[in-house]
Amino acid sequence: MRSYNQYCALAKALDVVGDRWTLLIVRELIIQGPCRYTDLRNGLPGVATNLLADRLRDLEEVGIVRREEAPPPVASTLVHLTERGRALWPAIRELGRWGGPLLAEPGAGEDEEFRTHWLAVPTWLHLVDRRPKDKPIAIEVRSGQDAMVIETEGGEVRTRAGRAEAPDAVIISPPKPFLGLITGRLDLAQAEERGLRYEGDATALTRVLPDRAQSTSRRTA
Amino acid sequence: MRSYNQYCALAKALDVVGDRWTLLIVRELIIQGPCRYTDLRNGLPGVATNLLADRLRDLEEVGIVRREEAPPPVASTLVHLTERGRALWPAIRELGRWGGPLLAEPGAGEDEEFRTHWLAVPTWLHLVDRRPKDKPIAIEVRSGQDAMVIETEGGEVRTRAGRAEAPDAVIISPPKPFLGLITGRLDLAQAEERGLRYEGDATALTRVLPDRAQSTSRRTA
DNA sequence: CCGCATCCGGGGCGATACTG
DNA sequence: CAGTATCGCCCCGGATGCGG
């Protein structure tokens, strides 16, 4: 991106990460961890391959990512975030928080690309461990073709891309009712009416859901 | 901006505020408050006039700003942030925090545009009121052609564009030593060696400076 | 002077094809 | 798998014009 040529912290930040696709690339690396080029392409539907290559070069130059050759069994170059790159997390988190309500708007999600692991940030924002002393749990979420895991660890809730080894529950749902549930706009019964399904331990779900999602929704029955 | 067409909170946010100049316009409205078109132009050196007009239209459409005719003494249309627009503050704050270190890099600030009120965010990030029970103070800062005010109020430090009525101190300084002082990289004596000057009550300054800026710098004397 | 609209040149971006 | 090459479009930047 052309520089704004302003001696201002925000303008300088946007000089570096204001280019199209740049913050979305960082999003992928934050959620997925170290990625191959192809992993990034899969997580960034719509990006032109030359643009992705250009951006990775730029991001490496400014010290946000680093490329490393993975050892023999993998034999592939992996893109890592540097410490400076991970420092973008608060900015991405707050931009995502601001954008969250747009996902609930009518028409949002129609004819749009989707990956389950994109739910990791909003999920992390809204869930809490209501029984931090109980033994840790893991919940697998399948909303698109890929999967995401919600884990409790030391009273904190963590989310990440991928599958769980032995999940206490598995949620299979279109993105909207799942988001309605975790943001508290819907309770579990209402989310199920809208297409959310789960298998396994229901108490694992209620353990991490916010207050407003706890009701059994007799009012709508 | 063209939509990313992704059902993802970050992508949706960038669909709305990812266009060039958009977040800088919001920056101006956050720091300066309601602005005339010309105020925005002054605070956004380098912007093309048509782009500014386009962006204001876009921002109005998505509900981030609102235009209002000011009553007769002013007789001008003022651009306000809506509640949804003010909600961008955390994202702008964190992007600015991330970009802050770039202002200290060698060469930064040379041949770049500058406005004193751009220091409002970094100043707010770093200063604290170390004597919240004492009576409130105001410090005026003049670094470019315009001015900025640091005020204590109820134990909080506030910053805003403009001049103070009866400041307890006035700082006149190039931006870099001022930033060095408030971030704690320089103490007062070191900042003065690099061009910072002040008039008025020195204790007003030390009241709001962070720990590391408190030393009298005998080590460099 | 304020608040734009219009015009034009350049380059960032998007889509696809191709390669080691 | 990990990119490069090419091409067309449209966003953006800069200048100018213009009504209130």
Amino acid A216: pLDDT: 65
| Res B177 pLDDT > 60 | yes
DSSP string for residues in A179-204 = HHHHHTSS-HHHHHHTT-EEEE-HHH
What contacts A23, CB < 8 A, 6 or more positions away? A17, A88, A92, A95, B10, B14, B18
| Res B124 pLDDT > 80 | yes
**A143-161: b or e for each residue (b if 16 or more CB lie within 10 Å)?**
bbebbbbbbbeeeebbbeb
Q: Residue holding tokens 């991928």?
A: A162
Shortest CA–C1' contact from A54: which nucleotide? Answer: D3
A72 vs B110: CA distance, rounded Å? 47
Amino acid B67: pLDDT: 94
Chain B window 44-73: residues with CB closer than 7 Å to nucleic chain C are 48-50, 53-54, 56, 67
Structure-block tokens of residue B132: 């919240």
Q: Do B16 and A111 make contact, defined as CB atoms within 8 angstroms?
A: no
Mean pLDDT by 10 residues, chain A (221 residues): 95 98 98 96 97 97 92 81 98 98 95 97 96 96 96 94 96 98 96 97 95 67 40
* Partner residue opposite A11 with nearest CB, options B12, B16, B24: B24
Any alpha helices (H) in chain A, and if so which ranges?
9-17, 22-32, 37-43, 49-61, 83-86, 89-99, 120-126, 175-183, 188-193, 202-208
What contacts A1, CB < 8 A, 6 or more positions away? A14, A15, A18, A19, B20
What contacts A124, CB < 8 A, 6 or more positions away? A157, A158, A159
Is B64 within 8 Å of B82 (Cβ atoms)? yes
A107 vs A115: CA distance, rounded Å? 17
Backbone phi, then psi, for B200, in 5-degree steps? 100, -150
Strand D lies under 7 A from the Cβ of residue A37: yes
Q: Do A118 and B94 make contact, defined as CB atoms within 8 angstroms?
A: no
Amino acid B81: pLDDT: 97
Size of interface A-B (CB pairs under 8 A): 161
| Res B100 pLDDT > 50 | yes
Q: How confident is the model at residue B220 (pLDDT cuts 50, 70, 90)?
A: very low
What contacts A164, CB < 8 A, 6 or more positions away? A138, A139, A140, A149, A151
Structure-block tokens of residue B58: 């876009």
Å between CA of A46 and C1' of C15: 10
Amino acid B214: pLDDT: 84
Amino acid A220: pLDDT: 46
A141 vs A2: CA distance, rounded Å? 40
Which range has the worst mean pLDDT, A55-69, B38-52, B70-84, B202-216?
Answer: B70-84
Amino acid B218: pLDDT: 52
B181 vs B204: CA distance, rounded Å? 14
Burial of A77 (0-12, 13-18, 19+ CB in 10 A): exposed
Spell out which residues of chain B touch residue A102, defining contact as CB-CB under 8 Å. Answer: 9, 12-13, 15-16
Strand C lies under 7 A from the Cβ of residue A23: no
Shortest CA–C1' contact from B1: which nucleotide? Answer: D11
The 10s digit of each residue's pLDDT in B10-42 is: 999 999 999 999 999 999 999 999 999 999 999
The 10s digit of each residue's pLDDT in A136-181 is: 999 999 999 999 999 999 899 999 999 999 999 999 999 999 999 9
| Res B71 pLDDT > 90 | no
Q: Do B11 and A99 make contact, defined as CB atoms within 8 angstroms?
A: yes
Q: Phi/psi zone of residue B162: left (φ > 0), alpha (ψ -120 to 50 degrees), beta?
A: left
Q: Phi/psi zone of residue B131: left (φ > 0), alpha (ψ -120 to 50 degrees), beta?
A: beta
CB atoms closer than 10 angstroms to residue B37: 16
